[in-house]
């Protein structure tokens, strides 16, 4: 997945990273990572959110 500078993203406890809007939308319906199906027990807002400039 590619991220543009300034785009917000979230990192789930399983370490998979998603665009913030996509990840939040998915987790509002499903409570597991769409890649590895690890259950996400915490509130979405507690996941680390950061701009994409940190990832290259």
Domain span at 14: 8-54
SS (HEC) of the chain:
CCCCCCCEEEECCCCCEEEHHHHHHHHHHCCECCCCCCECCCCHHHCEEEEHHHCC
- How many other CB atoms are there within 10 angstroms of residue 45's CB atom? 8
In a domain, 35, yes or no: yes
Name the average pLDDT for the chain. 76
pLDDT at 53: 33
Give the chain's domain count: 1
State the pLDDT confidence band at 12, using cuts at 50, 70 and 90. very high
**Domain containing residue 46: CATH number:** 3.30.40.10
In a domain, 16, yes or no: yes
In a domain, 1, yes or no: no
In a domain, 2, yes or no: no
In a domain, 42, yes or no: yes
Whether the model clears a pTM of 0.85, i.e. scores above it, the answer is no
């Amino acid at each position: 997945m590619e991220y543009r500078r300034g785009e917000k993203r979230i990192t789930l406890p399983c370490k998979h990273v998603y665009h913030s809007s996509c990840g939040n939308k998915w987790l509002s319906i499903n409570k597991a990572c769409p890649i590895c199906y690890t259950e996400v027990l915490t509130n979405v807002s507690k996941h680390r959110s950061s701009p994409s400039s940190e990832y290259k």
